[in-house]
Structure 1
Amino acid sequence: MSVQRVALITGSARGLGKRTALTLAASGYAIGINYRHSAGEAELLRREIEETYGVPCSCVQADISRPSDVSRLVEETVGKLGTIGVLINNAGPYIHERRLFAEYKPEEIRYLIAGNLGSVMELDALVLPGMREKGWGRIIHFGFGRAAEAPAWVHRAVYAAAKVGLVSFTKTLAVEEAQHGITVNMVCPGDIKGDYKEKRIREVELITDERSPRGRPGSGEDVARVISFLCQEESDFITGNVVDVSGGLDPIRARNGGGPPLPEERSSSTDA
Structure 2
Amino acid sequence: MSPVAWIVGGARGLGVVIARELAEDGYRIAVNYRRSRQAAETLQREIEQAGGKVMVMQGDVSRLPDVRRMAREVLNRWERVDVLVCAAGPFIFKRTPAIALSDQQWREMLDGNLSGVFYCVREVIPAMRRQGSGRIITFGFPEVEQAPAWEGYSAYAAAKAGLVSFTRTLAAEEAPHGITVNMVYPGDIRDPYKEAPISAARGKKDPRNPVGRPGTGGDIARVVRFLAHPDSDLITGAIVPVTGGFTNVHFHVK
**Given that residues 11 and 35 in structure 1 are in contact (C-alpha distance below 8 angstroms), is that contact kept between their aligned partners in structure 2?**
yes
The equivalent residue for 1:27 is 25
CA distance in 1, matches of 2:78, 2:46: 17
Q: Please list the CA deviations of residues 6-54 of structure 1 after superposition, one character each: whole Å capped at 9, or x if unmatched.
A: 00011111110101000100100000011011111111111111121x2
- SS of structure 2 residue aligned to 1:199: coil
> Is 2:40 aligned against 1:42?
yes
Q: Name which structure has the greater RCO, CA cutoff 8 Å, separation 6+.
A: 1
1:237 alignment partner, one of 214, 217, 234: 234
TM-score for both structures, normalised by structure 1: 0.91
> Is 2:63 aligned against 1:74?
no
Opposite residue 154 of structure 1, the aligned amino acid is E
- SS of structure 2 residue aligned to 1:197: coil
Opposite residue 140 of structure 1, the aligned amino acid is I
**Given that residues 30 and 57 in structure 1 are in contact (C-alpha distance below 8 angstroms), is that contact kept between their aligned partners in structure 2?**
yes
The equivalent residue for 1:211 is 208
Structure-to-structure mapping, 1:194-209, within 5 angstroms: 194-209=191-206
- SS of structure 2 residue aligned to 1:93: coil
CA distance in 2, matches of 1:234, 1:200: 24
> Is 2:211 aligned against 1:180?
no
The equivalent residue for 1:193 is 190
Cα displacement (A) at 1:180:
0.7
1:56 alignment partner, one of 45, 53, 57: 53
2:250 alignment partner, one of 245, 250, 254: 254
Opposite residue 178 of structure 1, the aligned amino acid is A
The CA RMSD measured in Å over matched residues stands at 1.1
The equivalent residue for 1:168 is 165
Q: Which range moves more in the overlay, 35-44 or 76-85?
A: 76-85
CA distance in 2, matches of 1:135, 1:109: 37
Q: Which range moves more in the overlay, 195-204 or 75-84?
A: 75-84
**Given that residues 33 and 60 in structure 2 are in contact (C-alpha distance below 8 angstroms), is that contact kept between their aligned partners in structure 1?**
yes
Cα displacement (A) at 1:79:
2.1
**Given that residues 138 and 183 in structure 2 are in contact (C-alpha distance below 8 angstroms), is that contact kept between their aligned partners in structure 1?**
yes
What 5-or-longer segments of structure 1 have no aligned partner? Answer: 256-261, 266-272
1:151 alignment partner, one of 148, 153, 163: 148
Opposite residue 242 of structure 1, the aligned amino acid is I
Q: Please list the CA deviations of residues 184-203 of structure 1 after superposition, one character each: whole Å capped at 9, or x if unmatched.
A: 00000001111201111111
Cα displacement (A) at 1:107:
2.2
Opposite residue 9 of structure 1, the aligned amino acid is I
Aligned length: 254
**Given that residues 44 and 54 in structure 2 are in contact (C-alpha distance below 8 angstroms), is that contact kept between their aligned partners in structure 1?**
yes
**Given that residues 32 and 81 in structure 1 are in contact (C-alpha distance below 8 angstroms), is that contact kept between their aligned partners in structure 2?**
no
What 5-or-longer segments of structure 2 have no aligned partner? Answer: none
- SS of structure 2 residue aligned to 1:59: strand
**Given that residues 61 and 119 in structure 2 are in contact (C-alpha distance below 8 angstroms), is that contact kept between their aligned partners in structure 1?**
no
* Identical positions, percent: 47
The runs of at least 4 consecutive aligned structure 1 residues that moved more than 4 Å come to none
The equivalent residue for 1:270 is none
The equivalent residue for 2:138 is 141
Opposite residue 48 of structure 1, the aligned amino acid is E
Q: Please list the CA deviations of residues 135-155 of structure 1 after superposition, one character each: whole Å capped at 9, or x if unmatched.
A: 010000010010001000010
- SS of structure 2 residue aligned to 1:195: coil
- SS of structure 1 residue aligned to 2:185: strand
The equivalent residue for 1:269 is none
- SS of structure 1 residue aligned to 2:176: helix
CA distance in 2, matches of 1:136, 1:74: 17
